[in-house]
Amino acid sequence: MEVSTELILLAFGLTLIAGLATGVGSLLAFFTSSTNTKFLSWALGFSAGVMIYVSFVEILVKANDALTAGLGENKGAWATVVGFFGGMLLIALIDKFIPSHGNPHNIKKVEDMHRPNPQGDGELIKMGTFTALAIAIHNFPEGIATFTAALQDPVLGIAITIAIAIHNIPEGIAVSVPIYFATGDKKKAFRLSFLSGLAEPVGALVAFLFLMPFLNDIVFGIVFASVAGIMVFISIDELLPAAKKYDEAHTSIYGLIIGMAVMAVSLLLV
């Protein structure tokens, strides 16, 4: 399958944008005094809506089409299902081996950023470092997902980039809060947050180096099915619980539905 240089550069650019959103979260914590929890709940719900809808309606369908074209109807259907749940298993195992105090699913508030402890706190520094590492590990398969989606369909890649970037912003805060609280050092807090996001373009680079040479319908289909599984798992396990934590009057559900609607209309217009 031939892919143009322009499309490859676009795919790398989108993964970089998605990854750097963790740095945006860190900067947001420095320049705002409080968390707009209502908007955060809506935005995380919106991100989950985009991911869930596009995974089932677009990505999984394209994966099945590619795999049935390469393997036949029966084997292709089975390969799609295996790829989908294989993606879920991959991200579940990543979660399993991340220490609980470093897991990024516990969203922090900006308010916590404004209580620095210049004397330092080893436990908080350890927590922030583990959180940065955990987010980097999470971002790696997300980078592969964004990159391969953009190669297959740039509009799809842009939609996934927006959804991932939205949920990377509070993850950036989750890194910055404990580091800044412990050290009072904004540069160190931002640097760790920024570096955790760079795992996303690194994932894209790995996909480029190890998947591109073997690019065909079967490889694309398996990767796409896995991407769908990864995004559905992240939405159910991470985004929706975080959105519900700050939910007010079903705000997260409205965001979820609007995210699905925006994705549905976007797919119809292209």
Does 171 show up as a binding residue in the annotation?
yes
Residues 175 and 177: their CA atoms lie apart, in Å, by: 6
* Alpha helix (H) residue ranges in the chain: 5-31, 37-54, 60-71, 73-96, 122-152, 154-183, 186-197, 199-210, 217-234, 240-245, 251-269
Specify the pTM: 0.77
Does 139 show up as a binding residue in the annotation?
yes
Does 142 show up as a binding residue in the annotation?
yes
Does 200 show up as a binding residue in the annotation?
yes
Please enumerate in sequence order all residues whose Cβ is within 8 A of that of 188, keeping only pairs 6 or more positions apart, or say none.
179, 180
Residues 39 and 44: their CA atoms lie apart, in Å, by: 8
| Cα torsion angle, 53, 21, 149, 82, sign | negative
* pLDDT of the chain, 270 residues: tens digit per residue: 567 889 999 999 999 999 888 888 777 766 665 556 677 788 888 888 988 999 999 899 999 999 999 999 999 999 999 999 999 998 888 877 765 554 555 555 555 545 545 444 566 677 677 777 777 887 888 888 889 888 888 888 888 898 888 878 877 877 777 777 777 778 888 888 888 888 899 999 998 888 888 778 888 899 889 989 988 998 898 888 878 876 666 888 999 999 999 889 888 876
112 phi, psi to nearest 5 deg: -70, -15
Residues 90 and 34: their CA atoms lie apart, in Å, by: 35
Does 117 show up as a binding residue in the annotation?
no
For residue 171, the Cα-to-chain-centroid distance in whole angstroms is 10
For residue 68, the Cα-to-chain-centroid distance in whole angstroms is 28
Residues 6 and 8: their CA atoms lie apart, in Å, by: 5
Amino acid (1-letter code) at residue 235: S
Give the pLDDT of residue 148. Answer: 86
Instruction: Report CA-CA distances (Å) from 140 to 87, 146, 202, 224.
Output: 13, 10, 7, 15
Does 167 show up as a binding residue in the annotation?
yes
